[in-house]
Amino acid sequence: MRKLYIIAVSAIAALATSCSSDFLTVESNSQTFLEDYFTTEPHLQEALVAAYDPLEWFDWTNQYSPVNIMSDIMADQIWVGGSDKTDNAHWHLMMNYEAVPTNTLSSLISDCYSGVKRCNDVMTYITWVPDLPADIAASVEAQARVLRAFYYNILWKFWGNIPYYEVNLTGDLTCPQFTADEVYGKFIADLEGAIALNALPMKREGEETGRVTLAMAYMLYAEAVLYQNDESRFGKALDFLKEIISSGKYALLSDYGEIFKESGEWGSESIFEIDYKTTGGQRYWSWVRGAGGTVLPRLISPHSWSGSDGHDGGWGFAPVRKETFDMFDASDARRAATCWVIDPADSEKYNHRYQDTGIFLEKYAAYKANTDSEGDADLRFNNNLRYYRYAETLLYAAELVVRGAGSGDAADWLNQVHGRSLKGQSVSLSLDNIKEERRLEFVGEGKRYWDLVRWGDAASVLVPDSYGYRTNSWTPSKKYLPFPQSLMDSTEGKTYELKQNNY
């Protein structure tokens, strides 16, 4: 009996003292080491999906910064709104060209660089997959590189002189900063390289819808080249656009109003959209990076709207300027599709917030049908963000022709767009008419501000208004936003210190 206990006790003691480092090495039950995981094609494809993921964050990560609205508040067609000037204060400051490092756009920077980092990772993982078929490798690489250029394009337009890297950072995790021209040179070359891989289809169908296409890469190219006014590449840009037009894969929708309806998503006019969905969405305030809905319609709809026309309420941001409504001809189909004018009789059905005009942006207005009440309802709107439309392809191409990039049926391209909304009407081909067409066509789509800057019209157009909302004029130094102070602080004393933009 006693022996038994002695044996038992000694056994326990022996067992327990045999603790080795094996005991302290535990494995995750839900995660794998990267080197073990990204070694098959399906896993590589998952890494690629993750590189698309940040596209959906722009409307909200740590800040509300829907990229279209962030552009348009700096232009002349919408106000900022909200409860007052401190509600999303950085928007109000940007609108009046007085952004400060302690209160400026910041989450857009980390969103875009998250995309860059993930694209770079995809480029690494391609080399980890043994026996990866060449066509798949090229397709994955082309998507990753076009996406990377897409993210850099946004950073470059908003901040200009940014850190640029194509291999992820190590060491003290800082990166050299380049001038805006250098950044342009780098990412446009990368984009050209991606296009040259010849691995992208002009248009995608079915399950592939939503991925990068050749048309999307071309549009990105044209946008960057035109914003840089890089005449050396105008010809190439025009060729690309003409390739889209001649492919016959894209066409204008006959009804402008259809573009922004649920039924218009990925319609024949859509070259690139950022996807959002309601049912089965995984996006919550606690997991904003989940794939799901968008908050944009909530942001820009009238506060506490209680009308029964199918619209849903919101927070009263981005009211459309009265002048924007007035610029449309009454017969222009774009007027009603752009401006949701609240009937004066319904004026009491919502809270009039700051800079209220009684007009809201119909293109992305909240509709009860576009969301449901599950989860975090505000973050569940299914409205895709229309990023590149075929209408812009036509107008870019027409502009390039007018600006001497080459030949093409520019008058027809312009009038396809013009005549779609103003039935039976046409205009003559001129740069001014193209500018006017873009002004009418893209309200609320984040184009106008960049157009004014690249045309050299910003300083004359973006001036104080008669309402006293914008008191400062745009100057060339306002082209690049200040970097957030926290970003400045985080590179202090490190290998590459970031230099603040002269805003």
Partner 1 sequence: MKKIATLILAAGWALTAMAQNVPLKGTVQDSAGEPIIGAFVVQQGTANGSMTDVNGDFSLVTPPGAAIEVSCIGYATQVIINNGEQNLVVVLADDTQMLEETVVIGYGVQKKSVVTASIAKVDADALGVTAPTRVDNALKGLTAGVTVTASSGQPGASSRIRIRGTGSINSSDPIYIVDGMPISGGIDYLNPSDIESIEVLKDAASGAVYGTRAANGVVLVTTKKGSRGKAQIDYNFSYGLSSPWKEREVLNASEYALLINEGLVNSGAAPRYADPYSYGTGTNWQKEVFNYNAPQQTHEVSISGASDAVNYYLSLGYTDQQGIVGGNFGRSFYKRLTLRSNTGFTLWDASSERNFLNKMVLSNQLSYARVSSKGVAENSQWGSPLGSALALSPILGVYATDDQIAEYNTIYAGEKLVTDADGRVFMIPGGNFNEMVNPIASLSLPANDNWSHKIVGAFSGELQVWDNIKLHSTFSLDMSFWGNSGYTPLFYLSSNNRAGTTNVNAQYEKGLVWQVENYLTWNKDFGKHSVSLLLGQSALENSSDGLYGMRRDLAEEWYEKPYIGNAPNNTDDPDKQGANGWKNAPYRLASYFARADWNYDERYMAQVTFRRDGSSRFGANKKWGNFPSFSLGWNLHKEPYLTVPAWLSNAKVRFSWGVNGSDAFEAFRYTTLTAKDNNYILGTGENIAQGVKSSGLANPDLHWERSIQTNLGVDLGFWHNALTLGIDLYNKTTDGMLLQMPTPSYVGESSPWGNGGKMVNRGVELEASYKWGQGDWNFRLGGNATYLYNRLISMGNESGFNNYDSFQGAGTMTRGENGYPFPFFYGYKTDGVFQNQNEIDAYVNKDGEKIMPDAVPGDVRFVDVNGDGVFNDDDRTYIGNGMPDWTFGLNFSAGWKGFDFYMLWQSTVGNDILDVTRRTDISESNMPSYMLGRWTGEGTSNKYPRLVRGDNVNWQMSDLYVQDGSYLRLKNIQLGYTLPARLTQTVLVKSLRVYVAAENLLTLTGYRGYDPEISSGGTSLGVDYGVYPLPRTLLCGLNLKF
What is the footprint of partner 1 within residues 194-213 (CB under 8 A)?
A: 205-211
x/- mask, partner 1, residues 25-64, rule CB under 8 A, reads xxxxxxxxxx--x-----x--xxxxxxxx-xx--------
Tell which one of 7, 40, 84, 247 touches partner 1 (CB under 8 A). 84
**Footprint (CB under 8 A) of partner 1, residues 88-107:** 102-103, 106
Assess 13 for contact with partner 1 (CB under 8 A).
yes
Report the sign of the C-alpha dihedral through residues 125, 127, 132, 137, in that order: positive
Assess 469 for contact with partner 1 (CB under 8 A).
no
Residue 316 — left, alpha, or beta (φ > 0 → left; ψ -120 to 50 → alpha)? left
Contacts of 363 by beta carbon, 8 Å cutoff, 6+ apart: 259, 260, 337, 338, 443, 444, 445
Q: Tell me the residue type at 76.
A: D
Tell which one of 201, 257, 290, 406 touches partner 1 (CB under 8 A). 290
Q: For residues 44 and 129, is the Cβ–Cβ distance under 8 A?
A: yes
Residue 304 Cβ vs partner 1, minimum distance, rounded to whole Å? 3
Q: For residues 274 and 56, is the Cβ–Cβ distance under 8 A?
A: yes
Contacts of 248 by beta carbon, 8 Å cutoff, 6+ apart: none
Assess 187 for contact with partner 1 (CB under 8 A).
no
Size, binding site for partner 1 by CB under 8 A: 99
Q: Residue 102: beta bridge partners?
A: none
- Find the part of the chain contacting partner 1 (CB under 8 A) among 221-229, 241-249, 367-375, 404-412: 367-375
Assess 116 for contact with partner 1 (CB under 8 A).
yes
Looking at the Cβ atoms of 342 and 397, the one nearer to partner 1 is: 342
Contacts of 452 by beta carbon, 8 Å cutoff, 6+ apart: 75, 76, 458, 461, 462
x/- mask, partner 1, residues 248-287, rule CB under 8 A, reads ------------------x--------xxx-xx-x----x
Assess 121 for contact with partner 1 (CB under 8 A).
yes
Residue 299 Cβ vs partner 1, minimum distance, rounded to whole Å? 14
Burial class (CB in 10 A: 0-12, 13-18, 19+), 56: buried
Assess 168 for contact with partner 1 (CB under 8 A).
yes
Residue 247 neighbours by CB distance under 10 Å: 13
Assess 16 for contact with partner 1 (CB under 8 A).
yes
Q: Tell me the residue type at 271.
A: I
Q: What angle do CA 334, 336, 340 make, to 5 degrees?
A: 130
How far apart are the C-alpha atoms of 367 and 378, rounded to whole Å?
12
Looking at the Cβ atoms of 14 and 134, the one nearer to partner 1 is: 14
Tell which one of 59, 70, 74, 118 touches partner 1 (CB under 8 A). 118
Looking at the Cβ atoms of 378 and 451, the one nearer to partner 1 is: 378
Looking at the Cβ atoms of 19 and 134, the one nearer to partner 1 is: 19
Q: Residue 270: beta bridge partners?
A: 389
Query: Which tokens is 45 given?
Result: 């494809």
Assess 491 for contact with partner 1 (CB under 8 A).
yes
Assess 297 for contact with partner 1 (CB under 8 A).
no
Assess 344 for contact with partner 1 (CB under 8 A).
no
